[in-house]
């Protein structure tokens, strides 16, 4: 019986076809969040290098609106790590700050800010008091490094006291760690009554 020769592979040696639908490029591994933070903040780095171009006494203080969220987040991100810890009790990342202020109940919070051009150099955040403490507002202050020690924190705190104690007729309360000397000294200077509780100080400014 005649033997049948094996068939030659007709595609042997032919160029490999090109896949018309190549796999999509693999996403890049997640980068270290600070690299992203660095890019976001790059236009603002110069703020830390120069002394204030405008006298702190002349910087106007105004109420902030929800449209200022971006400026607010950048303000908190530009605080030094130690100042951010003093302010939030944790060195919040950029994305945590962004989440906090994009999901904030703007109906119950108030913000006062000192603005120089498109920058907030100081912010007073006025939150509702934690549950069970009663009516009133909790104050948290922050001033960008180059603007500290120029009197702006004191002006902002006085503006917050006028707004809450005089206009809203509510007590203003400040919770602060005893080792935060600048804030403790400022609160004492403005006449707050100090109570020590659970390792923290609280300063109360009564309604006018
Ligand atoms: C606390 C803070 C708001 C003060 O703002 P500031 O603009 O530097 O303060 P001012 O220049 O208006 O100073 C007002 C008073 O505060 C006190 N003070 C401010 N800086 C101080 C410092 N380094 N050491 C001691 N007291 C200080 C002083 O009593 C000062 O008055 P005086 O100069 O007559 O003695 C600012 O240091 C800051 O943003 N810190 C980081 C965030 C923070 O800790 N927030 C408080 C958490 S609620």
> In this predicted structure, what is the pLDDT of residue 62?
97
Domain at 55-174: CATH code: 3.40.630.30
Would you say the CB of residue 140 lies under 6 angstroms from ligand 1? yes
> In this predicted structure, what is the pLDDT of residue 58?
85
> In this predicted structure, what is the pLDDT of residue 198?
87
Which of 148, 160, 177 to mutate to test ligand 1, by most ligand atoms within 8 A of the CB atom? Answer: 148
Please answer whether residues 157 and 124 qualify as being in contact, where contact means their C-beta atoms are separated by less than 8 angstroms.
yes
Q: pTM for the complete prediction?
A: 0.80
Distance between Cα 85 and ligand 1 center (Å): 15
Would you say the CB of residue 186 lies under 6 angstroms from ligand 1? yes
Integer Cα distance of 69 and 62 in angstroms: 14
Which helix H or strand E contains 96, and what residues bound it? helix 94-102
Would you say the CB of residue 145 lies under 6 angstroms from ligand 1? no
Question: Residues 6 or more apart from 4 whose CB is under 8 A from it?
Answer: none
Would you say the CB of residue 192 lies under 6 angstroms from ligand 1? no
Integer Cα distance of 16 and 122 in angstroms: 64
Distance between Cα 160 and ligand 1 center (Å): 15
Q: What is the largest CA-CA distance in the chain?
A: 117
CA dihedral of 189, 128, 60, 85, whole degrees rounded to 10:
70
What are the structural domain ranges in the chain?
55-174
Integer Cα distance of 159 and 155 in angstroms: 6
Distance between Cα 80 and ligand 1 center (Å): 14
The half-sphere exposure of 146 on its side-chain side, counting CA atoms within 13 A, is 18
Which of 48, 186, 194 to mutate to test ligand 1, by most ligand atoms within 8 A of the CB atom? Answer: 186
- Provide the H-helix boundaries in 103-201: 152-161, 181-189
> In this predicted structure, what is the pLDDT of residue 178?
96
pLDDT tens over the chain, length 208 residues? 455 565 555 445 555 544 444 444 544 544 445 445 545 655 555 554 454 666 778 899 999 999 999 999 999 999 999 999 999 999 999 999 999 999 999 999 999 999 998 899 999 999 999 988 889 999 999 999 999 999 999 999 999 999 999 999 999 999 999 999 999 999 999 999 999 988 999 999 999 9
> In this predicted structure, what is the pLDDT of residue 27?
46
CA dihedral of 71, 109, 59, 120, whole degrees rounded to 10:
-20
């Amino acid at each position: 019986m005649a033997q049948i020769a094996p068939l030659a592979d007709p595609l042997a040696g032919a160029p490999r076809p090109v896949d018309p639908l190549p796999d999509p490029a693999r996403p890049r591994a997640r980068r270290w969040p600070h690299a992203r933070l660095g890019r976001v903040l790059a236009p603002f780095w110069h703020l830390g290098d120069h002394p204030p171009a405008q006298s702190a006494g002349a910087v106007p203080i105004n109420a902030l609106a929800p449209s200022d969220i971006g400026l607010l987040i950048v303000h908190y991100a530009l605080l030094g790590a130690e100042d951010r810890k003093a302010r939030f009790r944790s060195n919040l990342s950029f994305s945590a700050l962004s989440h906090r202020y994009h999901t904030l109940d703007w109906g119950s919070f108030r913000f006062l800010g000192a603005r120089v051009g498109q920058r907030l150099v100081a912010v007073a955040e006025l939150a509702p008091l934690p549950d069970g403490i009663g009516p009133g507002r909790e104050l948290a202050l922050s001033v960008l490094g180059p603007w500290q020690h120029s009197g702006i924190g004191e002006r902002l705190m006085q503006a917050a006291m006028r707004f809450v104690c005089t206009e809203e007729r509510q007590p203003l309360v400040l919770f602060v760690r005893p080792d935060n000397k600048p804030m403790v000294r400022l609160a004492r200077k403005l006449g707050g009554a100090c109570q020590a509780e659970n390792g923290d100080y609280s300063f109360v400014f009564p309604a006018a």
